[in-house]
Amino acid sequence: MSSPVDSAIHLSHIELMNAGLSVRWSDESASFFHHIWLRDNCRCPACGEPSIGRRTLKLSRIPKEIIAVSATIDRDDTLAINWSDGHQSSYSGTWLKSHTYDELARKIRAFSPPIWTEVTRQNPPTLSFESVQQDLTTFREMLHCLRDFGICFLHDAPPKDGPLEELASRIGPIQESNFGRVQNMVVDRTQRGIANDVDALKPHTDEPYRASPPGIMLFHCIQTDVTGGGSSIFLDGFEIAETLRAEDPEGFTSLARHRQAFRRHFSDDVDLIAEFPVISLDEFDNICGVRINDRVAAPLSIPSEEMPVYYRGLRRLLELAEDSKRMIRRSLRPGDIALFDNHRVLHGRTTLTVHGRRWLQWAQVERGDFHSTLRITADRLQLYRDALPLLRGAYG
């Protein structure tokens, strides 16, 4: 498998210091590794490999003042260390380079996907359902579309019960909720729930009142009245958040700093409450998730002096979420499937004018399982596995 680390870069010089090891690379860059970090990350047979659950080394057993007694660079670009506790460790130069943890290296590794442009809206990622199911390379392409743009459309799926569940299960274990494993959304005004109504539904992210909202959402159109109006709406939450940051930095910061309460209560059924920021940022201020759904917003409780700027930012964000120029509009027809990241992409619909029956199925997969499948699929294709770029999501 290929690696994101340039294989031409190798260990050039090392220097033992009080707190750790200074490394000079062949490209003249430098890195520093603390003694404790190196000792804790020994992957020899005696210490084990934590990524596969076979680590036997216990941090509590490593001496607090552990130091490297000696360190050398072997001919095969391997760093060999003799420790003060008598242990011996070795680390390949490629492994060390890919795990440097200085500020710049961590910032470079932080995944920040491209926001939507007019090109994205006019030509959103679209693939054949049959190709995705039959060809592993196309399946991986679908996963990458979801990772990079938060959305992908499939066409020509069998318009019947079953294909959606099969596809979702390939991405990861289906995330069951109080709505069930696979939800059938059928237009029926006698049933409770906004999904069964025909009124317009403004763009939103689903279930922000959960500590862990749905991750990857899948909508499959099985049946619809082709003479009826109405279309599905999709909008990039990262794009409108970045627009707010450019227009009103104070309002943006307030939405990212303070927690908004969300609640969904059905008597004698569910009473879910969660408090998270509307906009989630990583440590480098990259947007990594949004929770935008004022329909289920509970009363805000933040410092009094922050109220004006918070509401100013929220009002503008919601205005941007209703900007039709920023939307992808799709009239889903039987056989169409829309997949999207609910921690990024807002979805809604225009007013429906269904004269017959409208049947959509809906399922969801956790984002962690989605990223796992993305990496495993790369392994099966003998491609580099994206082990690092995982958007944290809307967790504050």
Q: What is the pLDDT of residue 8?
A: 78
Q: What is the pLDDT of residue 207?
A: 94
DSSP class per residue in 136-167? HHHHHHHHHHHHHHSEEEEE---SSSSHHHHH
Q: What is the pLDDT of residue 354?
A: 64
Q: What is the pLDDT of residue 385?
A: 75
- Where do the domains of the chain lie? 11-109, 118-380
Q: What b/e string do you get for 257-280 counting C-beta neighbours within 10 Å, with b at 16 or more?
A: ebebbbebeeeeeeebebbbbbbb
Tens-digit pLDDT string for the chain (396 aa): 445 555 678 999 999 999 999 999 999 999 999 999 999 999 999 999 888 888 999 999 999 999 999 999 998 999 999 999 999 999 999 999 999 999 999 998 898 999 999 999 999 999 999 999 999 999 999 999 999 999 999 999 999 999 999 999 999 999 987 778 898 887 754 555 554 556 788 999 999 999 999 999 999 999 887 555 568 999 999 999 999 999 999 999 999 999 999 998 877 778 899 999 999 999 999 999 999 999 999 999 999 999 999 999 999 999 999 999 999 999 899 999 999 999 999 999 887 766 667 789 999 999 999 999 999 999 999 988 765 557 789 997
Domain 118-380 - what CATH class? alpha beta
Q: What is the pLDDT of residue 168?
A: 98
CB atoms within 10 A of CB 8: 7
Determine the 3-state secondary structure of 77 from DSSP.
coil
327 closest CA partner among 112, 114, 124: 124
CB atoms within 10 A of CB 59: 9
Q: What is the pLDDT of residue 314?
A: 98
Crossing angle, helix 237-247 and helix 249-257, to 10 degrees? 130
CA separation (Å) from 86 to 39, 58, 82, 83? 11, 16, 7, 5
Separation between Cα atoms, residue 359 and residue 224, nearest integer Å:
6
Q: What is the pLDDT of residue 52?
A: 83
Q: Tokens representing 175? A: 């995330």
Residue with tokens 């442009």: 117
Q: Indicate the fold that domain 11-109 takes in CATH.
A: NE0471 N-terminal domain-like (3.30.2020)
Residue 19 half-sphere exposure toward CB, CA atoms < 13 A: 3
Q: What is the pLDDT of residue 230?
A: 67
Cβ atoms 375, 367 nearer than 8 A: no
Separation between Cα atoms, residue 317 and residue 155, nearest integer Å:
32
Q: Tokens representing 225? A: 């009245």
Show Cβ contacts of residue 286 under 8 Å, excluding neighbours closer than 6 positions: 110, 111, 112
* Strand ranges in the chain using DSSP code E only, listed in sequence order: 11-16, 20-25, 30-34, 68-74, 78-83, 88-92, 126-128, 151-155, 183-186, 201-204, 216-223, 232-236, 260-266, 270-276, 279-281, 287-290, 327-330, 337-341, 345-349, 359-365
Q: What is the pTM of this model?
A: 0.91
Dihedral-angle region of residue 21 (phi above 0 means left; psi in -120 to 50 means alpha; beta otherwise): beta
- The 8-class DSSP code of residue 129 comes to H
Q: What is the pLDDT of residue 119?
A: 97
Q: What is the pLDDT of residue 258?
A: 97
Q: What is the pLDDT of residue 206?
A: 95
Q: What is the pLDDT of residue 185?
A: 81
